[in-house]
Amino acid sequence: MVPSRAASGHGFDEYALVGTALSLRGTPYRNGGSDPSGFDCSGFTQWVFARYGIALPRDVRAQYRAGASIPPEDLAPGDLVFFTTTDPDVSHVAIAIGGDQFIHAPSSTGVVRVEHLSGRYWAERYVGARRVN
Catalytic site includes residue 104: yes
Average pLDDT on 114-128 reads 97
Cβ atoms of 37 and 115 closer than 8 Å: no
Average pLDDT on 50-60 reads 96
Length of the chain: 133
Catalytic site includes residue 130: no
Residue 66 banded pLDDT, cuts 50, 70, 90: very high
> Catalytic one among 18, 46, 56, 104?
104
> Catalytic one among 10, 92, 113, 131?
92
Cβ–Cβ contacts within 10 Å for residue 50, how many? 12
pLDDT at residue 41 above 50? yes
**Domain positions in the chain:** 12-131
The proportion of the chain whose per-residue pLDDT surpasses 70, expressed as a percent, equals 93
β-bridge partners, 73: none
> Catalytic one among 41, 80, 94, 97?
41
Class for domain 12-131, per CATH?
Answer: alpha beta
Catalytic site includes residue 10: no
User: Which pLDDT value is given to residue 8?
Assistant: 61
β-bridge partners, 98: 101
CA distance 106 to 116: 13
